[in-house]
């Protein structure tokens, strides 16, 4: 692990919605090639932080650097072109398009030629092991296949950084296992990954490192095993009394 390069640097970003400080002066970074888990109880500000990186909402303060370049004032599509892809908590495939065509929407970022986009999309569909469903109308997919399709669309934009929001929410244990396997495969392609998740178990096995948010503030940063032992994290997840009882 020599000479780790920081692919993303988040420096003191904040966001306020009316009276709620969703994220306050949050700073963290992602190393090239790692899987970073962003954890936190419901309402901790995970999705807000996520959306600020993806350019869907603007931060009130601070800055975000991707490969040394500021993302300030960039629109979501600009950010995608730079090499950051994202998935959504709620997967909505483009209706009326097949699985392959959905993925092609993503691959058109890198080429305007239809044949090239199609070839690229076919590779992605095979990567997802969805070849048999390539020509299925995306509306007819199961919830889990939609999730995979969404990952595929994002991969087709050839990102260097992938932001994933709640990848296993609502999945069966089998499906969750498949998704974990897929995420590892994606990392093996050399893509750095930030995962927002509140299912602890999944993220512990998957992440190289986790950071924990509570009330919009960073309360822990480190390897998964160490972080789960930190009293602040236990408090945030299970409450004060649980921690006291164990002590």
Partner 1 sequence: MRTKITFVLGLPLLALALAIPLFVTDSYILHSMAMVLFFAYMASSWNFVCGYVGQLSLGHSAFAGVAGYVTVLLFTQLGVTPWLGMLAGGASAALLSVPVGYATFRLKGPYFTLTTIAFAEILRIWLENTDDFLGIPLKGAQGLTVPPVGGSNFLAFQFDGKVPYYYIILAMLVGVMAATAVMERSRLGFYLKAIRGDRDGAEALGVDPTRYSLTALAISAFLTGLGGAYYAQLFRYINPERNMGIDLSIDMAIMTIVGGQGTILGPTLGALLLHPIGEMVRATIGGSFLGLHLILYGIMLMLAVIYFPKGIIVPLQRLLDGRKGKRAVTRGAVKADALEGKGQ
Count of beta carbons in the 10 Å neighbourhood of residue 119? 13
Give yes or no for a contact between 87 and 163, defined as CB atoms under 8 angstroms apart.
yes
Q: Which positions from 174 to 213 touch partner 1 by CB under 8 A, shown as an x/- string? A: ----------------------------------------
Collapse the DSSP code of 71 into the 3-class scheme (helix H, G, I; strand E, B; otherwise coil) and give the result.
coil
Shortest distance, position 151 Cβ to partner 1, whole Å: 12
Residue 190 exposure: Cα atoms within 13 Å on the Cβ side: 4
Q: Whose Cβ is closer to partner 1: residue 81's or residue 184's?
A: 81
Q: Is residue 163 classed as helix, strand or coil in its secondary structure? A: strand
Instruction: Choose between 137 and 175: whose C-beta lies nearer to partner 1.
Output: 137
Find the helix packing angle between 99-107 and 143-156, rounded to 10°. Answer: 30
CB of 4 or CB of 111, closer to partner 1: 111
Among 80, 161, 164, 218, binds partner 1 (CB under 8 A): 80
Residues 6+ positions from 162 with CB-CB distance below 8 Å: 84, 85, 86, 87, 154, 155, 186, 191, 192, 193, 194
Count Cα neighbours of 48 within 13 Å in the Cβ-side half-sphere.
24
Which residue, 105 or 243, has its beta carbon nearer to partner 1? 105
- Tell which positions 85-144 bind partner 1, by CB under 8 A: 85-86, 88, 92-97, 101, 104-106, 108-109, 112, 114, 117, 132, 135
Position among 49, 54, 191, 195 found at the interface with partner 1 (CB under 8 A): 54
Q: State the DSSP code for 228.
A: T
3-state secondary structure of 207: coil
The answer to whether residue 153 forms part of the interface with partner 1 (CB under 8 A) is yes
Q: How far apart are CA 76 and CA 71, in angstroms?
A: 10
Nearer to partner 1, 139 or 244 (CB): 139
d(CA 108, CA 242): 51
Q: Which is nearer to partner 1, 56 or 204 (CB)?
A: 56
Smallest distance from the beta carbon of 77 to partner 1, in angstroms? 5
Nearer to partner 1, 37 or 55 (CB): 55
Residue written as token pair 């190289």: 208
In whole angstroms, give the CA distance from residue 207 to residue 45. 19
Query: Applying CB under 8 A, which of residues 16, 21, 43, 56 lies at the interface with partner 1?
Result: 56
Report, in Å, the least distance between residue 145 CB and partner 1. 16
How many chain residues interact with partner 1 (CB under 8 A)?
A: 32
* Binding stretches for partner 1 (CB under 8 A): 54, 56, 75-77, 80-81, 85-86, 88, 92-97, 101, 104-106, 108-109, 112, 114, 117, 132, 135, 150, 153-154, 156-157
């Amino acid at each position: 692990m020599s000479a780790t390069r920081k692919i993303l640097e988040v420096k003191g970003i904040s966001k306020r919605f009316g009276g709620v400080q969703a994220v306050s002066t949050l700073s963290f970074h992602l190393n090239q090639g790692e899987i970073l888990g962003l954890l936190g109880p419901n309402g901790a500000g995970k999705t807000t932080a996520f959306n600020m990186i993806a350019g869907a909402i603007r931060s009130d303060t601070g800055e975000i650097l991707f490969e040394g370049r500021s993302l300030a004032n960039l629109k979501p599509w600009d950010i995608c072109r730079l090499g950051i892809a994202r998935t959504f908590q709620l997967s909505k495939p483009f209706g009326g398009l097949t699985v392959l065509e959905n993925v092609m929407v993503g691959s058109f970022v890198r080429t305007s030629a239809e044949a090239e986009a199609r070839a690229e999309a076919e590779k992605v569909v095979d990567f997802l092991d969805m070849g048999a469903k390539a020509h299925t109308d995306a509306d007819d997919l199961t919830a889990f296949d939609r999730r995979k399709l969404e990952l595929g669309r994002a991969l087709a934009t050839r990102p260097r950084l992938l932001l994933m929001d709640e990848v296993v929410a609502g999945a069966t244990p089998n499906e969750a296992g498949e998704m974990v396997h897929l995420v590892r495969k994606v990392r093996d392609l050399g893509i750095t990954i930030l995962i927002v998740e509140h299912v602890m178990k999944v993220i512990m096995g998957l992440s190289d490192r986790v950071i924990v948010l509570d009330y919009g503030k960073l309360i822990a940063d480190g390897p998964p095993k160490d972080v789960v032992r930190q009293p602040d994290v236990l408090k945030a997840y299970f409450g004060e009394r649980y921690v006291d009882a164990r002590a």
